[in-house]
Amino acid sequence: MNITILFGGSSYEHEISIVSAITMKKVLKKSNLQSVFIDALRDFYLIDSDKMKSKLFSSGEYKKSKKVQLKKTGFFVDGMLSSKPVESDVVLNLIHGRDGEDGKIASLLEFYAVPFISPRTEASAISYNKLYTKFLAETLDIKTVAYEYLSIEDERHIEMDYPVIIKPVRLGSSIGVSIVRSEAELDYALDIAFEFDTMVIAEKYIDRVKEYNQAGAFTSQWELSIVEEPQKEEFLDFETKYMDFSRDSQVLSADISDKLKIKIQDCFKKVYEPLFLGSVIRCDFFVIDDEVYLNEINSVPGSMANYLFDDFESMIERLSQNLPSEENIVIDYQYIHSIQSAKGKA
């Protein structure tokens, strides 16, 4: 299978995307991989497989690579007399944060009829915004932790009791996130969060809460990963998550009852179908008093959460063969012709 890895982007999570793309080279061993890098200026570059090292990007050496253009059906390298297509059966979107998870890339790929693995535009817009994710969970009758919303223009005050956790609404990888234990700490935490976004949410911070990760996709059937109980700290900071995104070996299943496992998987399926068809996502859940709470939807999880699956590469191949497609709308100008005919101008 020919897979084009799409990574980089104009995002605070740009570097994590590079780590994920390098990891995919280790994971997708049977596939023929092409790598298309989007730099901070949103130019596209075709990266040679043997040069996929982090230094290539940090040094700016990637600019010596061939530029590519996104056109109808795929990526193309423009030559003097013609354009040569980048051989690809499917694009795997590995752009974390803005560009990759907010719907921009999904819209472009859909517009140009390029087969791709990633959430579609509507799903991206909802999961990228933590506030909209709360709204989605509410409509699905899935619990979430109590929260308050603040914009940069609002008075810096919250009603809920401390401690709370402050999060930028449209950002991941724990960037701009702080735990606030008293009102005296709130202003500083908001200063940090508002450096990255104009909207934040304050969530009730629950110490030592049980957290579980469930990833999966729907091909012609449900393909669910193991349920993982991740490394537990107060919260995983940027550096920890940076390293976490490079994982390429399978982890152990959480030691939980079958009953709880089914509850978590049922919540995952509610979130996934039909909104996230065509993608591999990871949902992070809390369990409080034996009730499952949705914490976050990772629409482009680090290294695609490959470490949670027995045979990730085979699952990706099956998913690539079962992607959603847009309806082909036939434009026949019948309405305009009928008006012209009625006016005697046929």
Rg (CA), the chain: 22
Query: Tens digit of pLDDT per residue, the chain (346 long)?
Result: 999 999 999 999 999 999 999 999 999 999 999 999 999 999 999 999 889 999 999 999 999 999 999 999 999 998 878 899 999 999 999 999 999 999 999 999 999 999 999 999 999 999 999 999 999 999 999 999 999 999 999 999 999 999 999 999 988 768 889 999 999 999 999 999 999 999 999 999 998 899 999 999 999 999 999 999 987 665 555 555 555 556 666 788 999 999 999 999 999 999 999 999 999 999 999 999 999 999 999 999 999 999 999 999 999 999 999 999 888 899 999 999 999 888 765 5
* Domain of residue 197, CATH code: 3.30.1490.20
Same domain, 72 and 188: no
From residue 125, alpha-carbon distances to 44, 79, 170, 241, 295 in Å are: 23, 36, 10, 23, 17
Q: Which domain holds residue 261?
A: 126-143+207-320
Query: What's this model's pTM, rounded to 2 decimal places?
Result: 0.89
Q: Let me know whether 302 and 173 are in one domain.
A: no
Number of structural domains, the chain? Answer: 3
Q: Based on the domain organization, do 198 and 250 belong to the same domain?
A: no
Does 139 lie in the same domain as 265? Answer: yes
How buried is 184 (Cβ within 10 angstroms: 0-12 exposed, 13-18 middle, 19+ buried)? exposed
Q: Are residues 50 and 163 in the same domain?
A: no
Same domain? For 104 and 30 the reply is yes
Question: Could you tell me if residue 333 is inside a domain?
Answer: no
Is 339 part of any domain? Answer: no
Residues 138 and 278 in one domain: yes
> Do 232 and 286 have their domain in common?
yes
> Are 196 and 281 members of one domain?
no
Helix/strand number for the chain, H first, E second:
10, 17
**Does 346 fall in a domain?**
no
The residue with tokens 């940069």 is 152
- What would the two tokens of residue 96 be? 């974390």
Q: Do 94 and 23 have their domain in common? A: yes
Euclidean distance between CA atoms 223 and 194, whole angstroms: 38
- Do 250 and 130 fall within a single domain? yes
Inside any domain, residue 338: no
Tell me, what CATH number does 88's domain have? 3.40.50.20
Looking up residue 298, the CATH number of its domain turns out to be: 3.30.470.20
In a domain, 232, yes or no: yes
DSSP three-state, residue 300: coil
Is residue 255 situated within a structural domain?
A: yes
In a domain, 331, yes or no: no
Would residue 215 count as lying in a domain? yes
Q: Are residues 277 and 132 in the same domain?
A: yes
